[in-house]
Structure 1
Amino acid sequence: MQTAADPVGSHRVLAPAGALPQTAERLDTRADLWPDEVRVRVERLNLDAASYRQLAEKHHGDGAAVRAEVLAIVRERGKMHNPVTGSGGMLIGTVEEVGPASPLGLRVGDRVATLVSLTLTPLVIEDGLQSWDGGSEQVPADGYAILFGRSIAAPLPADLPAELGLAVMDVCGAPALTRRVVDGYAQPVVAVIGGAGKSGALSLAAARRAGAARTIGVVPHEAEAALLRDAGLADEVVVADARDPLALHDAVRAAGGPADVTVVCVDVPGCEPGAILATAARGTVVFFSMATSFSAAALGAEGLAADVQMLIGNGYVPGHADYALELVRGNAGVRGLFERRL
């Protein structure tokens, strides 16, 4: 047994030995803190989109069954770590205790959003999720979570409703990484697959602000297209099934592609070949979805002889939360789309 806390949280791993918290099967969820830890009283969880979709489809939309499975996962694993998708989400809450050696700069009473995944966050649910009907990604909850010395948390913005702030911070890594990639090109064409979703809308706004010459939003059906057109976030909005490589390729090219930068923000598997085909030679594909198969992406690009750079969006870029909130505050289209989805 460890006698000192590890900033990355390995002291909380119960099984298997030697694992880090994210890959662990079970975490220690005791409320007593190690010196560099912080305990947060949970107010609301935001389940990762791929995880929620998998649970909802598995249980055919039965909210009670979805709720029961989430509770079972948290109880058995000591964290919200979907064993099928490998993803979790994040949470908001109020700091209730701070260890004397915590480097996070948090104080008791701070309302914060955790910017690290629930897949590595020790979590206890104490109310049985009685206020959640299982019908949405946002989960009202009462319980507590533990942050490590190397965790990340940000104060909730006072000028935005908590539900909106949570939704923005859940995907704040996507626009920051999109901006960084677009900055590396001179007036690129940028295609965002899943452009009417939360991360997609922010990525389109970031691409335009970063100097994209043309933005293309790809959505799966006309209802999503109407949402995106109303938001005014893309120069072109096209309807295509991202799982159909040739259809996606043709749709992006007809809209002004191929794309120099393609950002994948959908929560369904099977979009890797189409995203690669839609991207120009020497272009970049950013996979910002937990439904992505990275082996399919690598082998698919090889099989297509596609000279593209492929990046995994890991959810963290310095300053990502502030940047995403700035986009929401300053872009009525982004904010309106988020509010309609909430």
Structure 2
Amino acid sequence: MRPSDPTGLHRVLDDRTVLPQAAQRLDTRRELWPDEVRIRVERLNLDAASFRQLERTHASPDAVRDAVLDIVRTRGKMQNPETGSGGMLVGTVEEVGPESPLGLRVGDRVATLVSLTLTPLVVEDDLARWDGRSEQVPADGYAILFGRSIAAVLPDDLPAELSLAVMDVCGAPALTARVVEGYDAPVVAVIGGAGKSGSLSLAAARRAGAKRTVGVVPTEAEAQLLRAAGIADDVALADARDPVALRDAVAAAAGGPADVTVVCVDVPGCEGGAVLTTAAGGTVIFFSMATSFSAAALGAEGLAADVTMLVGNGYVPGHAAYAVELLREHDGVRSLFERRL
């Protein structure tokens, strides 16, 4: 076997040297390199943008399931070729290499906090228990973690499905809090505020010292859910793909533009509205894998918008524990999550 590399380079089967996330195929052999960990998979959580794309593209839930199986078998990982995104998983530690630095033990029930786009994955049950209709996918198989992978032991007081849903988006609230803390009582708008990452980001913004929080949703039904959750000072109704409508809705709710705008929707075309909604000197955080970062950059240039734009990369130290804390603190956030399970 090739020498092990903590980034997983030894599992890349491409002809040229690329990191596992960029690879076309990964080596999925069961045998471990010394710093690896093997997980017995219990459930996958597909990235929202990836799942929506699969739903739109395929005529039936069975076809969606077949498409996911084909991706995993072809690539040795779950990486949607259209969106480039994957998701994460829950499972039980099956074997730990003698040089693994992750601190995991055989029998630990964990959520992986690295993307399925770089995780060697084998599905052994043909996803027979999945109906193809939801992002959470019951599965049996195994996955491999590298020396630089991240995993969190699941909390005992939460159902596994709920923990998986929270940890799938735990980078969003942690980065939102970090950015909000850099301002003096900012106005924060969260686009997609009734969703998983959006609701946690609203709670994080308030906890981090936001003067006012605005949750933006596309329908009155979602607006009612968000109002009932009690995590936003104001709720704005707008299609985030309509930049003028989005700007005007946030301005009407907050009395002006937002200092921090957090994009948590899983549809393309929201870049211009997010920039237009944000005050000069403000910050836009993009947490959606549906984001076109070239559209965001060129759109900001075309609007002469002096805003900082951040890519939410899903990792902030302590992000999993922080997200679980927010869920425990806010019954409204938990209710929004549980409605989606």
**Residue 26 in structure 1 maps to residue 1 in structure 2:** no
**Counterpart-to-counterpart distance in 1, 2:97 and 2:15:** 26
Superposition deviation, residue 3 in structure 1: 2.8
Structure 2 unmatched runs, 5+:
none
Aligned to 1:301: 300
Structure 1 residues 119-141: Cα deviation after superposition (integer angstroms, max 9, x where no partner): 00000000000000000000000
- Contact between 1:16 and 1:25, CA under 8 Å: does it hold in 2? no
Aligned to 1:151: 149
**Counterpart-to-counterpart distance in 1, 2:221 and 2:11:** 45
Aligned to 1:76: 74
- Contact between 1:104 and 1:149, CA under 8 Å: does it hold in 2? yes
**Counterpart-to-counterpart distance in 1, 2:28 and 2:2:** 17
Structure 1 residues 170-197: Cα deviation after superposition (integer angstroms, max 9, x where no partner): 0000000000000000000000000000
**Residue 271 in structure 1 maps to residue 270 in structure 2:** yes
- Secondary structure of the 2:285 match is strand
- Contact between 1:245 and 1:274, CA under 8 Å: does it hold in 2? yes
* Structure-to-structure mapping, 1:79-94, within 5 angstroms: 79-94=77-92
**Counterpart-to-counterpart distance in 1, 2:38 and 2:242:** 45
Superposition deviation, residue 112 in structure 1: 0.2
- Secondary structure of the 1:206 match is helix
- Contact between 1:196 and 1:224, CA under 8 Å: does it hold in 2? yes
TM-score, normalisation: structure 1:
0.99
The runs of at least 4 consecutive aligned structure 1 residues that moved more than 3 Å come to none
Superposition deviation, residue 341 in structure 1: 1.5
* Structure-to-structure mapping, 1:6-85, within 5 angstroms: 6-60=5-59, 62-85=60-83
* Structure-to-structure mapping, 1:116-127, within 5 angstroms: 116-127=114-125
Superposition deviation, residue 15 in structure 1: 1.0
Structure 1 residues 41-69: Cα deviation after superposition (integer angstroms, max 9, x where no partner): 00000000000000011114x11000000
**Counterpart-to-counterpart distance in 2, 1:141 and 1:3:** 30
Structure 1 residues 81-112: Cα deviation after superposition (integer angstroms, max 9, x where no partner): 00000000000000000000000000000000
**Counterpart-to-counterpart distance in 1, 2:10 and 2:260:** 40
Structure 1 residues 243-269: Cα deviation after superposition (integer angstroms, max 9, x where no partner): 000000110100113000000000000
**Counterpart-to-counterpart distance in 2, 1:59 and 1:232:** 37
* Structure-to-structure mapping, 1:162-201, within 5 angstroms: 162-201=160-199
Structure 1 residues 146-169: Cα deviation after superposition (integer angstroms, max 9, x where no partner): 000000000011100000000000
Aligned to 1:133: 131
Going from structure 1 to structure 2, the CA distance change for 1:3 and 1:16 (only over 3 Å counts) comes to closer
**Residue 334 in structure 1 maps to residue 333 in structure 2:** yes
**Counterpart-to-counterpart distance in 1, 2:134 and 2:2:** 41
**Counterpart-to-counterpart distance in 2, 1:186 and 1:158:** 37
**Counterpart-to-counterpart distance in 2, 1:183 and 1:140:** 38
**Counterpart-to-counterpart distance in 2, 1:111 and 1:105:** 13
Structure 1 unmatched runs, 5+:
none
**Counterpart-to-counterpart distance in 2, 1:248 and 1:113:** 35
**Residue 236 in structure 1 maps to residue 230 in structure 2:** no
Aligned to 2:257: 258
- In the alignment, residue 131 of structure 1 is paired with which amino acid? R
- Contact between 1:16 and 1:24, CA under 8 Å: does it hold in 2? no
**Counterpart-to-counterpart distance in 1, 2:154 and 2:61:** 28
Superposition deviation, residue 316 in structure 1: 0.1
- In the alignment, residue 51 of structure 2 is paired with which amino acid? Y
- Contact between 1:13 and 1:26, CA under 8 Å: does it hold in 2? yes
- Secondary structure of the 2:22 match is coil
**Counterpart-to-counterpart distance in 1, 2:117 and 2:291:** 17
**Counterpart-to-counterpart distance in 2, 1:177 and 1:81:** 24
Superposition deviation, residue 16 in structure 1: 3.8
- Secondary structure of the 2:188 match is strand
Superposition deviation, residue 238 in structure 1: 1.0
**Counterpart-to-counterpart distance in 2, 1:210 and 1:33:** 42
- Contact between 1:168 and 1:324, CA under 8 Å: does it hold in 2? yes
